[in-house]
């Protein structure tokens, strides 16, 4: 993205939050200033557009150099600082395309209710202290986009289960498995769409293709988007008040079963070698019409 911006004559400043000790930052009543390790600086006065690309702090971040009791404090205050910079950019219509708060206001349950009038949505339940009696196989999915911070668990992928065997003490998101052998992901960028599907079917990849990320046999190809799906996606994104999203589906012949939309979903692995998606993103970020109010 930075290279493409340079080709257009657009200067880019990137704040790598996982290297925050290499940056200098100051926020005052009138301005903010960030200086990177090379001495380049961006300020509130010189900022033209701000693009939020999931800044986060990993387990190997520089806060590990602080005493253990202070690490969480440092990371949380950094999150607040980054969020406030985005809020300041929003207040002057310079925060573009991606809403940092979308994942909180538009969780999976709200998404599926919005999607129900427009798509086929597999039947689902979210329960706590509830005893299932059914022995029919369903799947259990995560409600949280956050990684589970333990050595034993990292992320709950979509997993086949028998509902009656679930421990009722835990909160569970249980859903019917949609029919169909083709996964599809659709990237929506300010009204423009491209859809992709793995070259291998679900019986070869498994229920959740994310388990296979990094495997050489997980290859993607662009697929056509039926007019009815394109219209439904446009209406869904309008109702969700999103300029950007990556929507996941299971395709069964001409039926696209809606799974979810990620308001800040990754897209880079779908784009080589033409960088068409990157250019769509860059154009949208520079477009004042994508400003978040």
R_g of the chain computed on alpha carbons:
21
Does position 167 have pLDDT exceeding 80, yes or no? yes
**pLDDT, position 62:** 78
Window from 59-68, 69-78, 100-109 with minimum mean pLDDT: 59-68
How do residues 232-249 score in pLDDT, each as one tens digit?
999 999 999 999 999 999
Helix (H, G, I), strand (E, B) or coil at 112: helix
Q: What is the largest CA-CA distance in the chain?
A: 63
How do residues 121-151 score in pLDDT, each as one tens digit?
999 999 999 999 989 999 999 887 665 554 5
Please give the Cα distance from 37 to 34 (Å, whole number): 10
Tokens 């150099």 found at: 65
Please give the Cα distance from 59 to 149 (Å, whole number): 9
What contacts 18, CB < 8 A, 6 or more positions away?
56, 57, 58, 60, 61, 62
Average pLDDT, the chain: 90
Please give the Cα distance from 123 to 174 (Å, whole number): 9
Window from 103-107, 129-133, 136-140, 215-219 with minimum mean pLDDT: 215-219
Residue ranges of the chain assigned to CATH 3.30.470.20: 102-119+180-287
Q: What is the mean pLDDT of residues 155-161?
A: 82
157 pLDDT band (50/70/90 cuts)? Answer: confident
156 pLDDT band (50/70/90 cuts)? Answer: confident
Please give the Cα distance from 61 to 133 (Å, whole number): 45
Distances (CA, A) of 108 to 220, 270, 274: 25, 23, 32
**pLDDT, position 152:** 47
What contacts 219, CB < 8 A, 6 or more positions away?
198, 199, 200
Please give the Cα distance from 30 to 51 (Å, whole number): 21
Helix (H) or strand (E) holding 283: helix 276-286
Q: What is the mean pLDDT of residues 260-269?
A: 93
**pLDDT, position 15:** 94
CATH T-level topology, domain 102-119+180-287? D-amino Acid Aminotransferase; Chain A, domain 1 (3.30.470)
Q: What is the pTM of this model?
A: 0.91
How do residues 13-24 score in pLDDT, each as one tens digit?
999 988 899 999
How do residues 190-214 score in pLDDT, each as one tens digit?
999 999 999 988 877 777 777 777 6
Q: Token pair for residue 2?
A: 């930075």
């Amino acid at each position: 993205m930075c290279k493409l911006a340079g080709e257009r004559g657009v200067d880019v400043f990137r704040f790598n939050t996982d290297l925050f000790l290499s940056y200098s930052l100051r926020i005052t009543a009138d301005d903010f200033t960030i200086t990177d390790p090379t001495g380049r600086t961006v300020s509130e006065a010189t900022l033209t557009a701000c693009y939020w690309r999931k800044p986060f702090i990993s387990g190997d971040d520089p806060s590990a150099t602080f005493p253990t009791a202070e690490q969480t404090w440092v990371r949380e205050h950094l999150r607040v600082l980054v969020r406030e910079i985005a809020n300041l950019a929003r207040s002057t219509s310079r925060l573009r395309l991606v809403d940092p708060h979308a994942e909180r206001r538009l969780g999976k349950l709200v998404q599926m209710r919005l999607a129900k009038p427009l798509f086929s949505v597999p039947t689902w339940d979210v329960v706590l202290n509830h005893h299932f009696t059914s022995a029919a196989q369903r799947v259990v999915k995560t409600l949280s986009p956050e990684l589970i911070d333990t050595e034993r668990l990292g992320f709950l992928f979509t997993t086949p289960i028998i509902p009656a065997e679930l421990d009722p003490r835990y909160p569970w998101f249980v859903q019917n498995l949609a029919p169909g052998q083709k996964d599809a992901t659709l990237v929506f960028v300010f009204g423009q769409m491209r859809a992709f599907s793995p070259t291998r079917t679900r019986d070869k990849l498994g229920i959740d293709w994310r388990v296979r990320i990094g495997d050489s046999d997980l290859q993607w190809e662009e697929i056509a988007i039926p007019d009815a799906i394109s219209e439904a996606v446009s209406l869904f994104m309008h109702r969700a008040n999103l300029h950007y999203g990556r929507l996941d589906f299971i395709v069964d012949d001409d039926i696209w079963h809606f799974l979810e939309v990620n308001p800040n979903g990754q897209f880079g692995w779908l784009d080589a070698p033409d960088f068409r998606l990157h250019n769509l993103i860059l154009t949208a970020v520079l477009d004042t019409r994508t400003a978040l109010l």
